[in-house]
Structures are given as C-alpha cells and as structure tokens.
Amino acid sequence: MLGFACATIAVPAKAEGYPDRPIKLAVPFGAGGGGDVSTRVLAAGMSDILGKPIIIENQPSAGGMSAARGVLKANPDGYSMLLIGNIYAIAQSLLAHVPYDVVKDFTPISLVVKTDVAIFSAKQSPFSSVQDLIAQAKRKPNTINIGVGLFGTTQHLTAELFKSEAGIEATIVPFSNSGQLQTAVRSGDVDVGFDLLAPVLGALTAGEMKPLAVAGNKRSPFLPATPTLTESEIPVEATSWSLMAVRSGTPEAIVARLNQVIVQALASSELQQKFSALSLEPVSSNVADAHQLLVAEIAKWKHAIQVAKIPQQ
C-alpha cells in the first residue's frame, strides 16, 4: 500500500513567490524521539529547497489533537503544516471526542516515511517462524503471551489483527516503551513481541532476538531474509507511517509546490542515507495517493479496534 511512485508535478503560477516567510510544522511527538528526528531531517531538506526555514513545533498530546487544533486555527495559506501519522488514523475510532475530521479538515501533501511492525522472539525461543508460534498457540490455547506497546498503538492493534486472522487465543501484554518490551522478550517473560522495526532492528541484526516476520506489504530492506506476514499466510499489513498535510482550503498551487519539494527532498541521496541510519524508509507520493492511504488506514484501524473490542476512550 505504501510503495507509491514519485510523481513530478507542474506547479501552477499562483505558487510563485511562496514561501516568503518561515513555515511552521506542528509535530505530535515530543522532541528527541524517532518521529521528531526524522521530521527534522526532512524539514531541513525542504528548507534548503524552499530557501526559507521550517520551524518545528512539538505538541505531544492524546491522538495528536493539540497539533491538529493549532493548524486548524491558522490560515489555510501553506504556512502551517501538520505531520499526520498512525495516531491520527487510530484516534478517529479510538477516541470518543475528536474535534475535527482528519480526512475532511486536512489535505495530505505527500507520504514521507514508514517503518514496519516487526514480530520477534528471544534467541533461545523454540519459535523460528510465525507458523511455529501459531501451531503452539493452537495446541495450547491461551498459553502464549504477546508483548506490545501501549493499548491503542499500532503495535497493539497489529497484534490484535494477527490473533484474529491466525485464529488463535493469546494474552496481550502492554509495555510503556520499546526497551521494556525487548527486555521482556529476551528474558522469556513474553513469548513474542510486536514492535516498530526501527527501535528493535539493532538487536535483531545482532542476533540478540529472532525476527519471525514483518507486517509490511513487502519485505523490509533492513531485514530482507525475513518474510512478511502475508508470505506467512496471515493477511495482515501494518506499518507506522507519516505524511505531511495542510489545512483544507489551502490553494492547490501551494499544495502542489509543497508536494514537489517533499518529493525532491526525499529523492536526495544525503537524506536517504540519514533516514537509513534511523532504520526508516523515506516514501514520497502524490497528493491523491496520500489521501487514499489516510482513508484506508482509518478504515483498517477502525476494524482492528472493533476486532479487539476496545471501548472508545
């Protein structure tokens, strides 16, 4: 779903002169995390092309609502952007009171980055594949513990979809951060972990834990020998992704200009190397494909929340 081709867009004349001042970019993460660092890498590349600074405003909050509200209060003139990711797609169904419609109130510009969800076990684990895990879970129902991120995260909901599609019963164990989850997997406190690939890649490539599968729509370039869940006969695709957006009503010429800049920035070998060092894949797209992905992701996570019978919060 995320392997969109880059498209060159002719920018209408009305975008000439834009931007003539700094652009603000609202980020729904705290400073210093992986999502923040990768966004700053892209923002710097975009600034070099535009000739104007892009100012990062970190606004962490439940469902990313603080960052979204700020952009919605600004004029739709392209000087306020929002980084939209999985948390927005999930929040549309998970949270009872979201004061906006992320599809109607924002215009996606382009996808920018993704990282797969990885499924892994301890190196001493008897599981060498997803099929091994499923076979054990079916032989002994409710004996498998699956470690995930906090309830309602991409990792948690991917595990719920996995359980549903595999037809198994297993206990979900949430952890507040990746370090705690990895410790639990290594010690055998949980049988298998579902986590974003970026924070666990080092341990997986070092042989400290065993990768069983990735949940992307194709094999990860960082773990090319590891099959996808689909290859493992479990039709689940899940990644953590981000896209740039502006408030709806922003002139099409400005949206097209920003798309062109993002595509150009992500195509640079220097930026690709920086993203690779963060274990992230840069992925650009045209405006229509970014919109299509957002709609599809909202539907997917709504289904996952229903499967897991998670009440609205």
What's residue 16's pLDDT? 75
- SS3 of 26, please? strand
Give 118-137 pLDDT, tens digit per residue: 999 999 999 999 999 999 99
How many whole angstroms separate alpha carbon 274 and alpha carbon 41?
A: 7
Q: Which residues pair with 8 in a beta bridge?
A: none
What's residue 179's pLDDT? 94
- Residue bearing the bigger pLDDT, 158 or 31: 158
Residue 10 has pLDDT above 60, yes or no: no
In the chain, what are the domains? 13-114+241-308 (3.40.190.150), 116-214 (3.40.190.10)
For residue 24, give the nearest of 65, 63, 64, 55 by alpha carbon: 55
Confidence of residue 312 (pLDDT cuts 50, 70, 90): confident
Average pLDDT on 208-220 reads 96
Lookup: tokens for 234: 């479990």
Average pLDDT on 42-61 reads 95
Confidence of residue 8 (pLDDT cuts 50, 70, 90): very low
What's residue 14's pLDDT? 58
Average pLDDT on 7-13 reads 43
- Residue bearing the bigger pLDDT, 149 or 146: 146
Question: Taking the CB of residue 111, how many other CB atoms lie within 10 A of it?
Answer: 25
Residue 2 has pLDDT above 60, yes or no: no
What's residue 32's pLDDT? 80
Confidence of residue 6 (pLDDT cuts 50, 70, 90): very low
Give 63-83 pLDDT, tens digit per residue: 899 999 999 999 999 999 999
Q: What is the pTM of this model?
A: 0.89
Give 34-51 pLDDT, tens digit per residue: 788 999 999 999 999 999
- Residue bearing the bigger pLDDT, 288 or 29: 288
Average pLDDT, the chain: 92
What's residue 36's pLDDT? 87
Residue 221 has pLDDT above 90, yes or no: yes
Confidence of residue 294 (pLDDT cuts 50, 70, 90): very high
The percentage of the chain sitting over the pLDDT mark of 70, rounded to a whole number, equals 95
